[in-house]
């Protein structure tokens, strides 16, 4: 799973990205790393996994991970090739969702750049969002127009392509009005067809409103943040206040120091942890857990995945030779105070190949190959 961090220059993308990769580097037992300077992996925080690891003291504890990409180079005109233009857009195309960092802080020492690098503009979160969105929409429009042309041509040989041409023509009109594919409304079958086209403006978005320390402690009084929040509500997107600079500091702390620091701030989780969790659920992802002396691990699946396919995440042999899944819900295990106690109460279930795996299921797969 891959998330692209996008936004105008100087809004705090790299600061946030550095916080993410720093946090990753600290976690033991997993090759978190900066894969290349712009790609980093981070563990999905999961108290359930932490607790299982405390119970089992396994040789290895492996969290679920998400990949983040710091995508630089987007300015006004990128879809026409300004900045890093097309290279940047290609990078976004490869992601599953977008974290759109929006500048919600004042600082006269840091230029607010919209188009060309030499001009400082007043801070304007909604204007920034519109600028970025419009570039994505313009890039999409070009793609959709090409798709219409192709479908029209194909329809000459086979009438079934007429419908496809109509669907994309209607979408092109929507984009042409400067609106994101995300907000386009149509029949589910048509949307499924549109979804095959890998559009940038169709990707789910989280707005990360980057405030400064003061703005972060008084969000109600932070008019920049309030504007972004209202916009996110209107378009049904997620919004998360974050102070990238502070996150960078937090990410450098040891676990214990981190807890103390957060306590002082009066928050339970760092903004980064919230961002990761929010991204995870935005993508429709859940985790199931495997446990034992050698390894405790969280595995990522899409909501709705059935037991054999979940097993296939561990190994294709387990999917192929799937017999059954022995499942305890983590919550049940906790209520009983342990696995043995949960089993005695009959809470360890034997599930077959049609079982839809739930978030927090602790699973032992029986298989035969």
Ligand X SMILES: Nc1nc2c(ncn2[C@@H]2O[C@H](COP(=O)(O)OP(=O)(O)O)[C@@H](O)[C@H]2O)c(=O)[nH]1
In the complex, the residues that contact ligand X under the rule CB under 6 A are: 7, 9-15, 105, 107, 110, 210, 212, 243-245
Q: Which residue, 211 or 279, has its beta carbon nearer to ligand X?
A: 211
Euclidean distance between CA atoms 126 and 172, whole angstroms: 24
Q: Which residue, 62 or 131, has its beta carbon nearer to Mg ion?
A: 131
Residue 9 partner contact from ligand X, Mg ion, none using kind-dependent CB cut-offs of 5 to 8 Å: ligand X
| Residue with the CB atom nearest Mg ion in the bound state | 14
Q: Which residue, 38 or 62, has its beta carbon nearer to ligand X?
A: 38
Q: Is 14 in the site for Mg ion (CB under 5 A)?
A: yes
- Measured from the CB of residue 67, what is the shortest distance to Mg ion in angstroms? 17
Footprint on residues 224-283 left by Mg ion (CB under 5 A): none
Q: Which residue, 10 or 309, has its beta carbon nearer to ligand X?
A: 10
| Strand-strand pairing, 65-70 and 60-62 | unpaired
Q: Is 72 in the site for Mg ion (CB under 5 A)?
A: yes
Residues near 2 by beta carbon (within 8 Å), at least 6 away in sequence: 66, 67, 68, 69, 94, 95, 96
Q: Which residue, 172 or 244, has its beta carbon nearer to ligand X?
A: 244
- Measured from the CB of residue 107, what is the shortest distance to ligand X in angstroms? 4
Q: Is 208 in the site for Mg ion (CB under 5 A)?
A: no
Footprint on residues 26-55 left by Mg ion (CB under 5 A): none
Q: Which residue, 7 or 360, has its beta carbon nearer to ligand X?
A: 7
Nearest CA among 130, 31, 139, 33 for reference residue 91: 139
Q: Is 73 exposed, middle or buried (0-12, 13-18, 19+ CB in 10 A)?
A: middle
Q: Which stretch binds Mg ion (CB under 5 A): 37-45, 66-74, 302-310, 313-321?
A: 66-74
Cβ contacts of 51-56, under 8 Å, gap ≥ 24 = 51/334, 52/289, 52/291, 52/296, 52/362, 53/296, 55/291, 55/338, 56/291, 56/292, 56/293, 56/296
- Measured from the CB of residue 13, what is the shortest distance to ligand X in angstroms? 3
- Measured from the CB of residue 75, what is the shortest distance to Mg ion in angstroms? 12
CB 323 within 8 A of CB 350: no
- Measured from the CB of residue 17, what is the shortest distance to Mg ion in angstroms? 7
In angstroms, how far is CA 160 from the centroid of its own chain?
36
Residues at the site binding Mg ion, with contacts judged by CB under 5 A = 13-14, 72
């Amino acid at each position: 799973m891959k998330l692209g961090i996008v936004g105008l220059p100087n809004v705090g993308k790299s600061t946030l990205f550095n916080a993410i990769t720093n946090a990753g580097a600290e976690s033991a037992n997993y090759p978190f790393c900066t894969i290349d300077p712009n790609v980093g992996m981070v563990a999905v925080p999961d108290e359930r996994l932490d607790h299982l690891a405390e119970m089992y003291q396994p040789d290895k504890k492996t969290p679920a991970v998400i990949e983040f990409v710091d995508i630089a180079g987007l300015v006004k005109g990128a879809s026409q090739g300004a900045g890093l233009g097309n290279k940047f857009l290609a990078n976004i195309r490869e992601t599953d969702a977008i974290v759109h960092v929006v500048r919600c802080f004042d600082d006269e020492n840091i230029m607010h750049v919209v188009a060309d690098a030499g001009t400082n503009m007043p801070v304007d979160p909604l204007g920034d969002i519109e600028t970025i969105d419009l570039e994505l929409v313009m890039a999409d429009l070009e793609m959709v127009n090409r798709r219409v042309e192709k479908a029209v041509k194909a329809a000459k040989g086979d009438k079934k392509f007429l419908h496809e041409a109509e669907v994309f023509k209607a979408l092109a009109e929507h984009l042409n009005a400067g609106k994101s594919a995300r907000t386009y409304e149509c029949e589910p079958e048509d949307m499924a067809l549109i979804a095959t086209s890998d559009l940038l403006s169709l990707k789910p978005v989280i707005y990360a409103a980057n405030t400064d320390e003061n703005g972060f402690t008084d969000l109600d009084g932070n008019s920049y943040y309030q504007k972004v929040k209202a916009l996110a509500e209107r378009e049904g997107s997620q919004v998360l206040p974050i102070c990238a600079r502070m996150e960078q500091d937090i990410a450098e702390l040891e676990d214990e120091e981190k807890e103390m620091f957060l306590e002082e701030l009066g928050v339970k989780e760092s903004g980064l942890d919230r961002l990761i969790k929010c991204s995870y659920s935005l993508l429709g992802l859940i985790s199931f857990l495997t446990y034992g002396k050698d390894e405790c691990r969280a595995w990522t699946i899409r909501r709705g995945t059935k037991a054999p396919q979940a097993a296939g995440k561990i190994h294709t042999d387990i999917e192929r030779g799937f017999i059954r899944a022995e499942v305890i819900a983590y919550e049940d295990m906790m209520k009983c105070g342990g696995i043995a106690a949960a089993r005695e109460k009959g809470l360890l279930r034997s599930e077959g190949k049609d079982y839809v795996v739930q978030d927090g299921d602790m699973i032992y797969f029986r298989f035969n190959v």
